[in-house]
Amino acid sequence: MSTPCCGGIGETLVFTCAGAAYSGQLANRAGVDLTKGGQAGLFCIAALAAELPEKLERTRNAGKRIAIDGCDNHCCRKIMEKAGMPVDIHVVVTDLGIEKQPQELHILVHTKRVVAEVENRLEGSPARPSAGQHKSGK
């Protein structure tokens, strides 16, 4: 099982936009649940934007990078690409028919839907061949 911010090379990392809107908060909740479930380790998107060297290095060495965005502004994916870290799996909450709105409506049900989408995409998604890759984060 991956652990946030303390895993090894070749792990599966998940980044979320953690936006203020319901869909952004849902994206982050899905990242937390994926970490709890052992499918991926939640990592700090803000640390990539801040260009923290150790966070960039760990992201560079990831076996797989997942980005979950709350809406079609794709802030998380854009930050990662700007940092030179292309994503392997990109899930957008509003693409799943969940609206971007201020209220918390069905966060548990909707979170399960986002987690299921990531799990579906993880199946059959080969690990990124990276230097020094030793293990999957699963």
Binding region for ligand SF4 (CB under 6 A): 17, 19, 21, 23-24, 69-71, 73-75
- Comparing CB distances to ligand SF4, the nearer of 33 and 69 is 69
In the complex, the smallest distance separating the C-beta of residue 75 from ligand SF4, rounded to whole angstroms, is 3
Q: Which of 27, 120, 116 is nearest to 67 (CA)?
A: 27
- How far lies 75's CA from each of 19, 30, 101, in Å? 9, 16, 17
- Comparing CB distances to ligand SF4, the nearer of 71 and 80 is 71
With b for 16 or more beta-carbon neighbours within 10 A and e for fewer, the 78-104 pattern comes to: ebbeebebebbbbbbbbeeebebeeee
- Comparing CB distances to ligand SF4, the nearer of 103 and 124 is 103
**Pairing between β-strand 41-42 and β-strand 64-69 as defined by DSSP bridges:** unpaired
- Comparing CB distances to ligand SF4, the nearer of 64 and 90 is 90
Q: Which residues, listed in sequence order, are joined to residue 51 by a DSSP beta bridge?
A: none
Distance CA 114, CA 92 (A): 8
In the complex, the smallest distance separating the C-beta of residue 130 from ligand SF4, rounded to whole angstroms, is 26
In the complex, the smallest distance separating the C-beta of residue 47 from ligand SF4, rounded to whole angstroms, is 16
In the complex, the smallest distance separating the C-beta of residue 73 from ligand SF4, rounded to whole angstroms, is 4
